[in-house]
Amino acid sequence: MIPILYEKGTTDFSNNGLGFLKDATKATVTEERNGSYELSLQYPITGQWYELLGDGCIVKAKANETSTPQLFRVYKISKPLKGIVTYSAEHISYDLNGLPLAGFSALNATPQMAITKALEETPLPHSFTAVSDISTLNRTSILTPCSVRALLGGQSGSVLDVWGGEYEFDNFVINLHAHRGKDNGVSIEYGKNLKDLKQESNIAECCTHIMPYAVYNNDDGEGNTEQIYVYLTEKVIPLTAAGDIGHYKAFIMDFSDRFGDDEIPTEEALRAKTAAYIAAADLGTPKVNITVSFVQLWQTEEYKNIAPLERVSLCDTVAVRFSKLGVTASAKVIKTVYDALAERYDSIELGDAKSSFADTVNKQAAEIENVKESVKTGQAQASAALKNAIAQATSLITGHSGGYVVLNPAEKPQEILILDAPTIEEAVNVWRWNMGGLGYSSTGCNGEYTLAATMDGSIVADFITAGILNGALLRTDSVESAAISQSYKAEVTNEIGEATSSVEQAFIAADEQLLSLIKSVESVFTADMETV
């Protein structure tokens, strides 16, 4: 197909726009599973439409073998090289980055309901709609402003984060599939249709053992709090499905979050939770990616009668066989590079998903885990510090001896003075209580009162130790906290202190077929954390 050029403000793409880019020398579309979707176009400066081919304009091009021609918006233009300019264009769905949301929440919703609600709530006009075959009801809440595309995936609480699935962007239609591709029994093999093959194995995340543990705070009833760590007797469990990577590598995992608020971790419970995790996760299998170049047999005369059975699309499962290299694998298509001019694939990539959406969610999930651990530790430290402060104050007040109580003046007194000397003139440390308030001075009766509770409702102090502070507004020049910083709490941990769920991402390869699994786990945050 010859790409078609449209002006940047075009809304009707049923016509031929400004014209056909028949002078284009190259046009390739790269699409990744739940990842990037872009067109790279090369066009000569002598071409008919060169002067009109600028930033923001839209190019319609064939993106793969099965979908209708897709729209791509130009966002970058290179300098001419030997009279050829390279234009980088992203799929029209990236326009969702410009549609804002003032936060978002959905309760008991399917992903289609959630995305549709977001499209309705954005204040800017658009032409996008949503479709999904996932019927799971779930909830999500994002308190900070974000774009509609960020809501689709890329942050904690996003649609992909909560419901999972595989996106297919068909121009202005957002389609979230439970499983986008199919397994039609297509095989790519040496002597049939395989032209080139590159296999890449990655053992960086491959483990041979798992070392689980859990930690909880134990209060001895006398104001002392101790962290108790629970391990298995043998410390580590071998992963029976682990590949031979030539050395031992243990995956250390904290299971504290998997215990309820009132559930004290035990070795038996830890062992059971570890067994369940091993069954769901894929820690022992090396990650394998295979990049192949192949002949599209469905375009040849010999295979024209079985073309539908040989056609391959993104997220499909195919078999790859190359006996000379000892490669026999069944894996999912995770990336395609399509020649839009010749209408054939340049290459496809099979193996483990490299999703920018999922990568972002995984990184944020790890950060949240670190924050939760920091909060729990900080709570224990804050509780101990408060108890020590109370004990010290009690000791000062109940154990103090001496002092002079003076009524001032002696007749019809207006205030009470507690002095460290017999007379007001001699006193240095003074407590003074009258209708104006109660205050303490270390510089005499007429000195500065650095600690005071005044009749207008104000409290002045250099240092305040408190267990719980309730208030509608906190004004401060700076905040320090061992448990969690206020800036991080405002920007990232939208749901700290609420009964929400966190998401753990794991990509499972079963019989070398890549499937995605997203599990929701109950948050360990308690209501007390709202006060940290």
Which DSSP string do the residues of 75-127 spell out, in sequence order? EEEPPPBTTEEEEEEEEGGGGGGG-EES-EEEEEE-HHHHHHHHHHHSSS---
Asked if 256 contacts 523 with a C-beta cutoff of 8 angstroms, the reply is no
Q: Which residue has the tokens 């942050």?
A: 155
What residue type is 122 in one-letter code? T
What residue type is 437 in one-letter code? G
The two tokens of residue 382 are: 């804050």
What confidence tens digit (pLDDT) does each residue in 316-353 have?
Answer: 887 766 555 555 666 788 888 999 999 888 887 776 54
- Name the pairing type of β-strands 70-77 and 84-91: antiparallel
Alpha helices (H) along 178-333 = 267-280, 307-310
**How far is CA 445 from each of CA 43, 85, 92, 429, rounded to the nearest angstrom?**
87, 83, 75, 8
What is the full per-residue pLDDT of the chain (532 aa) written as tens digits? 999 999 999 999 999 999 999 999 999 999 999 999 999 999 999 999 999 999 999 999 999 988 999 999 999 999 998 999 999 999 999 999 999 999 999 999 999 999 999 999 999 999 999 999 999 898 899 989 999 999 999 888 899 988 999 999 999 999 999 999 888 777 766 555 555 555 555 566 678 889 999 999 888 778 788 889 999 999 999 887 666 666 788 888 898 878 877 788 999 999 988 888 887 666 666 665 666 555 555 455 554 444 444 577 889 887 766 555 555 666 788 888 999 999 888 887 776 543 334 443 444 455 555 555 655 666 666 566 666 766 666 655 555 556 788 888 877 788 888 888 888 888 888 888 888 888 888 888 887 888 888 888 788 776 566 656 666 566 655 555 444 444 444 444 444 343 333 333 333 333 333 333 333 333 333 344 444 4
H-helix or E-strand spanning residue 319: strand 317-322
- The Cα 25–Cα 37 span in angstroms is 20
What residue type is 170 in one-letter code? D
CA atoms within 13 A on the CB side of 235: 1
- pLDDT score, position 42: 97
**How far is CA 5 from each of CA 54, 61, 85, 218, 412, rounded to the nearest angstrom?**
10, 9, 15, 68, 96
**How far is CA 37 from each of CA 34, 45, 302, 347, 394, rounded to the nearest angstrom?**
9, 26, 32, 15, 67
Torsion of CA 493, 499, 500, 505, to 10 degrees: 90
- The Cα 486–Cα 491 span in angstroms is 9
Interacting residues of 510 by C-beta distance below 8 A, sequence separation 6+: none
- pLDDT score, position 472: 56
CA atoms within 13 A on the CB side of 329: 27
